[in-house]
Amino acid sequence: MIFVKGPNEYGGCTINNTYTSWMAVNNLKLAKNAVLILKQEHPDKWKELSTRLELNIKEIDEWDDIIQKAKINYDQDNKLYIEDDLFMKLEPLEISKYKTDDRPLYYKISYDRLQRYRVIKQADVLLLMTLFPDKFTHEQKDAAWRFYEPLILHDSSLSFGTHAQLAAQLGIMDKADEYFNKSLFLDLHDVMENTGKEGLHFAAFGVSWQALVFGFADLTHDVSEFKIAPRLPEGIKSMKFNVIFKNELWNIRINQEGGRAVKLTEL
């Protein structure tokens, strides 16, 4: 896939971004599965839909071809997913020399120039791993964290929460707590010194919630059940929230000793 951009906005337009390719393949797999279900269980609806969309078997076969040929950059020796074809060719930057606080680095170095360095504005491969936690081994997540976390500038308000989530899943609780607090208080404490200029960062509110639920509570699910594997930092004594799963309302309660799920009602 050429001339694409992943979540890392400093990556510029690149080739075979792992996040973008993975999402494209995943969407094609979902589309193919939806077609199979529709054809088998609702043939009349399938005929109507395929006619309206001018969708034929040849096009569906092309989906398989794309799925098979899509390139996902993976370093087998180091168990590391590489961001894209060009990332390792970029010029290294001594980040500590230029980034001394949480203000975005584009105030010091032009946006165009930043796209030439091997730096990351916000989570890219790491974001992919938070979206598909069951598709990556702990070893792969840990390798990605050790490689990419030192390269990330956190110049996006979305970055801290994503890193808090993955750090909690990996059990790196000091980092999880640090990043969560930066995400949670991003605007209240004007962490990036841009709230007055840019306004409230509402997406950061959402990713802070995700860090709590999918990071510290480690809520996961498949088609049959959901699970929690809580790890709370010292600063959070307890938390509770509700989830709806398969038309059932559940209350999740977590403290420093563990957690439990209580079914409240069927909807």
Write out pLDDT tens, residues 1-23: 999 999 999 998 999 999 999 99
pLDDT band of 267, cuts 50, 70, 90: low
Read off the amino acid at residue 214.
F
**Residue-level length of the chain:** 267
Write out pLDDT tens, residues 169-224: 999 999 999 999 999 999 999 999 999 988 999 999 999 999 999 999 999 998 89
Residue whose entry in the numeric block shows the structure tokens 């990713």? 207
**Calculated CA dihedral for residues 5, 85, 125, 30, nearest 10 degrees:** 70
Element (H, E) at 33: helix 18-41
How large a percentage of the chain has pLDDT more than 90?
A: 94
Write out pLDDT tens, residues 23-46: 999 999 999 999 999 999 999 999
Write out pLDDT tens, residues 65-97: 999 999 999 999 999 999 999 999 999 999 999
CA atoms within 13 A on the CB side of 168: 32
The CA distance from 103 to 140, in Å, is 30
The CA distance from 54 to 48, in Å, is 10
The per-residue pLDDT for 40 is 94
CA 61 to chain centre: 29
pLDDT at 266 over 80: no
Are 204 and 231 within 8 A, CB to CB?
Answer: no
pLDDT at 57 over 90: no
The per-residue pLDDT for 184 is 96
**Calculated CA dihedral for residues 162, 173, 77, 9, nearest 10 degrees:** 20
Phi, psi of 251 (to 5 degrees): -105, 125
